[in-house]
């Protein structure tokens, strides 16, 4: 609109200069001069595409681009318009009629010869501008409506994509609370929900494994307890059925009953020890220990068992090692492994314990020349109640919990334990415990 006003003002100024310099108000009263001015206004208006009116100092129209004989001509009429009076006062004025889409621009005419002031009124249509603005307005309205609609659709789609995976996860969680631990969440894509689903599935697998381990543990405990209880019942019933049995038989049966009771006691004690070790929240009773002295005391305590089985116990100290640890739990761990070595080594064999260290860890190596462990069993020997040779274990009085207790204790100390073994060549257990925790 500003460009259109500037264009019209330039044309009006040219017309005003023409009237003031060529015609002048003093000759406009002559009929011939009026005809020439009318012709000039008509031609100029035709070339510009505007309607042009020339107004004298009394606001009377003296020329109109519409010929005097044409319909609507204002020649001879007085126009009472604010923009005309502004021009007569020497100012430019602009007015827009938004109802008719018309722009009125007036500029002042000053005749220096007569000192009179007139005005040029240009009337131009600006319907094209209003139509353009209306088109923009309509486009904006439609764009806003379309954008709003697309936003709603997009929000619904995003909400659907966000809520549906959460609903699936929630559905699985709710069903898991009823005990259905075998359920898994479908994993699609690689977004955050897929990562969450994978993590949740991993957690579910661990929960399922924990549940299976618990059930297996209860089953194993029941089985281990059932065996000595069954033996005690059979022995007791045998005694009851023998009305006049000799004293030697009573002694033999009671001795067997006592052995089974001792076996149950050992199982119970080992279970309690395993539970205490696994209860990490109880923590460790840490103190400064001399590992060399601890191992010597353990071997001295187990030497009668080694002599009974005709096993040679050897101790090697590569260097003096002292560090912070739970002495009771660590002693139980080393004792269990050394005792296993004694029990599973044929007569005349050896069990060697080596104490060493590196800049970061205390290293306890326990070697035996026993029956060995098949390679496929290495990952299972630290499980509770697991036995490689169940018959021999029962003969030696093992409960199947010693290595489980050992591993739990080592892990509680933030250490590691590994085994290397081959059948017929013996076994090597290596325990590493951090010197600084």
pLDDT at 142: 93
How high is the mean pLDDT in each 10-residue block of the chain (437 residues)?
A: 86 84 65 76 84 87 75 82 86 82 86 81 86 90 93 87 77 76 74 78 79 69 69 76 73 79 72 61 76 92 89 91 88 88 90 92 92 77 62 51 80 88 88 87
Q: Tell me: the pLDDT tens digits for 267-293?
A: 676 666 666 655 554 567 888 999 999
pLDDT at 392: 46
Instruction: List, in order of start, the domains of the chain with CATH numbers.
Output: 2-125 (3.30.450.20), 192-278 (1.10.287.130), 281-434 (3.30.565.10)
This prediction's pTM: 0.45
pLDDT at 152: 92
pLDDT at 399: 56
HEC sequence for the chain: CHHHHHHHHHHHHHHHHHHHHHHCCCCCCCHHHHHHHHHHHHHHHHHHCCEEEEECCCCEEEEECCCCCCCCCCCCCECCCHHHHHHHCCCCEEEEECCCCEEEEEEEEEECCCCEEEEEEEEEECHHHHHHHHHHHHHHHHHHHHHHHHHHHHHHHHHHHHHHHHHHHHHHHHHHCCCCCCCCCCCCCCCHHHHHHHHHHHHHHHHHHHHHHHHHHHHHHHHHHHHHHHHHHHHHHHHHHCCCCCHHHHHHHHHHHHHHHHHHHHHHHHHHHHHHHHCHHHCCCEEEEEHHHHHHHHHHHHHHHHHHCCCEEEEEECCCCEEEEEHHHHHHHHHHHHHHHHHCCCCCCEEEEEEEECCCEEEEEEEECCCCCCHHHCCCCCCCCCCCCHHHHHHHCCCCCHHHHHHHHHHHCCCEEEEEEECCCEEEEEEEEECCC
């Amino acid at each position: 609109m500003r460009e259109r006003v500037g264009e019209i003002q330039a044309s009006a100024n040219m017309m005003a200069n023409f009237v003031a310099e060529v015609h002048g108000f003093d000759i406009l009263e002559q009929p011939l001069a009026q005809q020439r001015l009318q012709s000039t206004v008509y031609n100029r208006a035709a070339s510009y595409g505007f309607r042009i009116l020339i107004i004298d100092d009394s606001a009377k129209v003296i020329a109109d681009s519409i010929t005097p004989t044409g319909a609507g001509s204002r020649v001879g009429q007085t126009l009472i318009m604010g923009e005309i009076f502004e021009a007569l006062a020497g100012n430019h004025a602009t007015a827009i009629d938004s109802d008719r889409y018309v722009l009125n621009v007036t500029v002042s005419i000053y005749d220096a010869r007569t000192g009179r002031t007139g005005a040029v009124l240009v009337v131009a249509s600006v319907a094209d501008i209003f139509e353009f603005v209306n088109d923009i307005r309509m486009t904006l309205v439609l764009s806003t409506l379309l954008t709003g609609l697309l936003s709603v659709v997009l929000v619904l789609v995003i909400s659907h994509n966000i809520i549906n995976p959460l609903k699936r996860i929630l559905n699985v969680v709710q069903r898991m609370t009823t005990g259905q631990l075998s359920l898994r969440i479908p994993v699609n894509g690689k977004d955050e929900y897929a990562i969450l689903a994978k993590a949740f599935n991993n957690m579910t697998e661990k929960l399922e494994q924990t549940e299976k381990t618990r059930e297996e543990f209860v089953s194993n405990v029941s089985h281990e307890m059932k065996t000595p209880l069954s033996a005690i019942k059979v022995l007791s019933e045998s005694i009851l059925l023998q009305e006049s049995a000799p004293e030697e038989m009573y002694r033999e049966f009671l001795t067997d009953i006592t052995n089974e009771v001792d076996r149950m006691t050992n199982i119970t004690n080992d279970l309690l020890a395993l539970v205490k070790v696994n209860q990490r929240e109880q923590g460790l009773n840490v103190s400064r220990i001399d590992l060399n002295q601890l191992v010597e005391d353990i071997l001295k305590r187990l030497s009668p068992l080694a002599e009974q089985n005709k096993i040679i116990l050897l101790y090697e100290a590569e260097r003096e090692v002292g560090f912070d640890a739970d002495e009771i739990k660590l002693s139980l761990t080393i004792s269990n492994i050394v005792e296993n070595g004694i029990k599973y080594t044929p007569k005349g064999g050896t069990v060697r314990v080596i104490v060493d260290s590196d800049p970061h860890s205390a290293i306890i190596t326990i070697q035996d020349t026993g029956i060995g462990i098949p390679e496929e069993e290495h990952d299972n020997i630290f499980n509770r109640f697991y036995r490689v040779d169940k018959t021999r274990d029962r003969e030696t009085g093992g409960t199947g919990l010693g290595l489980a207790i050992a591993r739990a204790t080592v892990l509680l100390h933030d250490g590691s334990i590994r085994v290397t073994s081959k059948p017929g060549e013996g076994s090597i257990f290596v325990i590493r415990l951090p010197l600084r925790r």
